[in-house]
Amino acid sequence: MSAVSAIFKTEPVGVTGQPWYANCVVELSTTQVPSQLLKGLLSVESDMGRIRKKSWEARIIDLDILLFGQEIIESNNLIIPHPLLHKRRFVLEPLVQLAPDRVHPVFKLTIRELLNKLPIPPCGGTVEVLKEES
C-alpha cells in the first residue's frame, strides 16, 4: 500500500434505515491490469462473507476501483473511473486526503475541485472522520 486515508463514518446514500458505513480510500501500486485487480477485490469481499443480492443493500464490505492512473475503461463489469465518484462526498473526502491534485480523466478537474463543486447542504451523504490514520 502506498497510502491510506483517514476512516470516515458516512451516512448511507440512496437508502434509509441502514447503519452508517466506515469508508476510506487506499492508494496502491500494482502490476495487475484492472480486470485482475477487480477479480482479487471481489475475492476478498467473498472471503469476508459478502453475498451480492441486490443494489444498495447493507453489506459487510464493498471494495471499488475508483481510479486506475488516467485510464478510462468501460466494460460489462467494470467502469473506471468509478461512475459516481464525482457525486459522492463519502468518496471525495477521503480521496482528497491522498490525491487532492489528481485530475479526473473524464471531467478534467482535480479531486479537490470535484469535492468543492458538491452542493451545500452536503450531497453524497454526511461524512465525519471516524479514525485518523497515523
Q: Which residues are catalytic?
A: 50, 59, 62, 64
Phi, psi of 10 (to 5 degrees): -130, 140
DSSP string across 46-82: HHTT----STT---S--------TT--EE-SS-EES-
